[in-house]
């Protein structure tokens, strides 16, 4: 707060100095960029637009604005399969010494999953207090290598859908069965592939059967 | 809130009792957060007063300590020097304290940070019978290309290291031209306390 006040004061002094010479303080509408690893980002301020290339760590609009002019930096186009946001993108030129918005971009995430079936309980509890035996949950664990891990349980449902990993466009997935359920053998199909946005992967099938 | 009030009153009372006996007149519970920890073995020591705190699952001493947060049972006084150090690491990780020392006050005594990072290990293996190019093996989202070579078997290592205690699962992501490869050993496993350069075996026909 103290800083912006001081900044405003400096800006005011600067502005008055400049206007004394017949000029007017000019401000660059600019900021920092993070996480932009692909092309396609377009920013706008009022009627002005700029394209920000991949790898950029900063941006600046070529058109400077006068002291007191309102600015409002918005994202008019996200890069494909990325979502960007602006912090501190709105204000009045001269309120701070310089304009410093922060644009940050993150890749969209897509799920890898499918359906499972045959995950039944194969044993009952043996209560000693006379209560009715209940099904012992039967579990199977899926992993995406050393990454995501998910456990499916017969107690939730013997069949249904599952999500094994959440990844970004272009990433490889390769799902394995880490632990088999008790007295069942599960097999997995379509477990390998590459994420092709905007589609999530839903074609994995995990089939569990009693050994013959 | 009620709990907090209760706790502070208990703390105050404790302080009063202790100072009456000439003990510590502390009012601050030296505490903080832990990240990256999921097994026993970490031990913290406040070298300021010599108190030792093992971080153990299910430890429900007063105050409660878990894998994600800790509190030293002994209270420290305002302006009392504290220095939380790692005196034992869990065997799979190295833990580092930050914001961990100073003269105690309400702004620093509750905010010690312990960050644990698993020891990084290499994972690899060998491929036998490979006579053409194109084989790609995957451990989840990490891949390694294995090209044909005059040696048999051909060894490979995944480019990215893996934290000790992590699981792994290996699949053939892409078969070499005209051949069929299968993972015959180490299709799934857990990273141990050393590099695992011959954990995986792949046979191609």
pLDDT at B65: 79
Residue A120 and residue A97 share a domain: no
Return per-residue pLDDT of chain B as tens, 205 residues: 455 555 555 444 444 444 443 345 689 999 999 999 989 999 999 999 999 999 987 655 657 778 999 999 999 999 999 999 999 999 999 999 999 999 999 999 999 999 999 999 999 999 999 999 999 999 999 999 999 999 999 999 999 999 999 999 999 999 999 999 999 999 999 999 999 999 999 999 9
**Residues in chain A whose beta carbon is closer than 8 A to a beta carbon of chain B?**
143-149, 165, 167, 171-178, 191-192
pLDDT at A103: 97
Q: Which residues of A touch B166 (CB under 8 A)?
A: 146
Q: What average pLDDT does range A15-30 have in this prediction?
A: 68
- Bridge partners of residue A34, in order along the sequence: A104
Select from A144, A139, A138 the least CA-distant residue to A166: A144
Residue A137 and residue A170 share a domain: yes
Of the candidates A81, A107, A133, which is a domain's last residue?
Answer: A107
Residue A124 and residue A91 share a domain: no
C-alpha B23: how far from its chain's center? 36
Residue A66 and residue A16 share a domain: yes
Residue A98 and residue A32 share a domain: yes
Residue A169 and residue A144 share a domain: yes
Q: Across A13-22, A62-71, B60-69, which has the greatest mean pLDDT?
A: A62-71
Interchain contact, B173 vs A172, CB within 8 Å: yes
Residue A186 and residue A98 share a domain: no
Enter the DSSP assignment of B77.
-
A169, closest residue in chain B (CA to CA):
B141
Average predicted confidence (pLDDT) for chain A: 91
Interchain contact, A171 vs B141, CB within 8 Å: yes
pTM reported for the whole predicted model: 0.78
CB of A80 within 8 A of CB of A41?
no
Interchain contact, B173 vs A148, CB within 8 Å: no
Residue A129 and residue A167 share a domain: yes
Name the residue among A173, A178, A191 with its Cβ closest to that of B141.
A173
Calpha distance A71→A174 (Å, rounded): 47
Query: Residue A5: which pLDDT band, with cuts at 50, 70 and 90?
Result: low
Calpha distance A145→B139 (Å, rounded): 4
Q: What average pLDDT does range A28-32 have in this prediction?
A: 96
Residue A136 and residue A198 share a domain: yes
* ipTM tops the 0.85 cut: no
Q: What's A102-163 look like in SS3?
A: EEEEEECEEEEEEEEECCCCCCECCCCCCCCCCECCCEEEEEECCCCEEEEECCCCCCEEEE
Residue A160 and residue A115 share a domain: yes
Q: What average pLDDT does range A139-154 have in this prediction?
A: 97
Structurally, how many domains does chain A consist of? 2
Name the residue among B139, B163, B172 with its Cβ closest to that of A145.
B139
Contact residues for A128 (Cβ-Cβ < 8 A; gap 6+): none
The domain in which residue A19 lies consists of 2-107
Contact residues for A209 (Cβ-Cβ < 8 A; gap 6+): A118, A184, A185, A186
pLDDT at A7: 54
- Bridge partners of residue A150, in order along the sequence: A142
- φ, ψ at B125 (rounded to 5°): 180, -155
Of the candidates A76, A107, A138, which is a domain's last residue?
Answer: A107
Q: Hey, is the C-beta of B142 within 8 angstroms of any chain A C-beta?
A: yes
DSSP for B113-157, written as a single string? EEEEEEPEE-EEEEEES--SS-EEEEETTEEEEE---SSSSEEEE
The C-alpha angle with vertex A106 and arms to A100 and A107, in degrees rounded to 5, equals 150
Of the candidates A64, A88, A107, which is a domain's last residue?
Answer: A107
Select from A35, A49, A48, A47 the least CA-distant residue to A79: A35
Residue A138 and residue A50 share a domain: no
- pLDDT (tens digit per residue) in A180-208: 999 999 999 999 999 999 999 999 999 99
Q: Hey, is the C-beta of B158 within 8 angstroms of any chain A C-beta?
A: no
Residue A145 and residue A90 share a domain: no
pLDDT at B22: 37
Calpha distance B154→B148 (Å, rounded): 8
Q: Which residues of A touch B143 (CB under 8 A)?
A: 172
């Amino acid at each position: 707060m103290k800083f912006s006040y001081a900044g405003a004061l400096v800006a005011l002094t600067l502005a008055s100095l400049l206007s004394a010479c017949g000029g007017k303080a000019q401000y660059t509408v600019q900021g920092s960029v993070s996480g932009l690893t692909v092309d396609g980002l377009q920013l706008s301020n009022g009627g002005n637009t700029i394209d920000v290339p991949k790898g950029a760590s900063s941006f600046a609009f070529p058109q400077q604005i006068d002291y007191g002019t309102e600015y409002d930096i918005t994202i008019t186009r996200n890069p494909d399969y990325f979502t960007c946001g602006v912090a501190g993108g709105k204000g009045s030129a001269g309120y701070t010494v310089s304009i410093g918005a922060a644009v940050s971009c993150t890749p969209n995430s897509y799920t890898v999953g499918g359906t499972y079936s045959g995950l039944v309980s194969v044993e009952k509890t043996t209560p000693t207090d006379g209560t009715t035996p209940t099904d012992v949950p039967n579990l199977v664990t899926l992993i995406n290598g050393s990454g995501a891990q998910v456990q499916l349980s017969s107690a939730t449902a013997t069949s249904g859908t599952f999500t094994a990993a959440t990844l970004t466009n272009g990433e490889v997935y390769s799902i394995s069965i880490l632990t088999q359920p008790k007295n069942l053998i599960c097999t997995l199909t379509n477990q390998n592939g590459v994420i092709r946005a905007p589609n999530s992967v839903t074609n994995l099938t995990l089939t569990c059967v009693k050994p013959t | 809130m009620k709990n907090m009030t209760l706790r502070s009153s208990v703390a105050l009372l404790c302080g009063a009792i202790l100072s009456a006996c000439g003990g510590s007149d502390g009012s601050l519970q030296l505490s903080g957060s832990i990240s990256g920890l999921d097994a026993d073995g970490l031990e913290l020591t406040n070298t300021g007063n010599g108190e030792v705190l093992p971080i153990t699952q299910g430890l429900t001493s007063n105050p409660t300590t878990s894998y994600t947060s800790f509190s030293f049972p002994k209270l420290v006084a305002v302006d009392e020097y504290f220095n939380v150090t790692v005196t034992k690491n869990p065997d799979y990780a190295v833990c580092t304290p930050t914001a961990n020392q100073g003269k105690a006050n309400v702004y620093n005594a509750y905010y010690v940070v312990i960050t644990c990072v698993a020891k990084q290990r290499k994972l690899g293996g060998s491929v036998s019978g490979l006579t053409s190019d194109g084989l790609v093996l995957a451990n989840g989202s990490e891949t390694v290309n294995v090209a044909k070579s005059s040696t048999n078997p051909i060894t490979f290592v995944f480019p990215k290291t893996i934290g000790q205690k992590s699981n792994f699962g290996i699949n053939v992501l892409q078969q070499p031209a005209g051949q069929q490869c299968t993972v015959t050993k180490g299709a799934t496993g857990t990273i141990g306390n050393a590099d695992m350069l011959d954990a995986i075996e792949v046979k191609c026909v």
